[in-house]
Amino acid sequence: MRARRRRGANSSDYLTDALALLQGWTRDGLELRRVLVCDESQHAALTERIKVAADTLRIRPAIRRTDGHTQISLGAGEADTITDGQVTLAARIEDAYKTVVGAS
C-alpha cells in the first residue's frame, strides 16, 4: 500500500508543475482536457486502457470521439481544485496513447 502525499500550501504548485510536464493537456477551471488524433481501432484500445487506469484511481473521465479525434476531459469531481489523481491519470493516458499509436 502506498502512502498518500500530504497536501500542504504548496500542493497547487506541485500539481501545476506536474501538469506542465504533460504536453498537450490544458487546464480549464477544474478540468484537464486533451485532444488526441487516432483512428477507430486506436480509440477503442486507448479507451479500454483509460478505463482500467481510471477505475484504479476512481476517476470518471469523459471520453468522446469526434472527426477522427479522441477528446478526453478529467473533472475534479467534488474537489475544489485540480487533484493529484487527475494529474496521475493524465500521465497514464499519455503513456497509453504513446503505446497505442506507437509514438515516442
DSSP readout, 16-50? HHHHHTSTT-EEETTEEEEEEE--HHHHHHHHHHH
Q: Tell me which architecture the domain covering 26-101 has in CATH.
A: 2-Layer Sandwich (3.30)
Asked if 33 and 73 count as a contact pair (C-beta separation under 8 A), the reply is: yes
The pLDDT score that the predictor gives to residue 58 is 93
Q: What are the grid coordinates assigned to 1, written together?
A: 500500500
Asked if 103 and 36 count as a contact pair (C-beta separation under 8 A), the reply is: no
Q: What's the pLDDT tens digit per position in 71-98?
A: 999 987 788 888 889 999 999 999 999 9
Sign of CA dihedral 42, 59, 89, 28: positive
Q: What's the pLDDT tens digit per position in 41-78?
A: 999 999 999 999 999 999 999 999 999 999 999 987 78
- Hey, where are the domains in the chain? 26-101
Model confidence at 12, in pLDDT bands (50, 70, 90)?
low
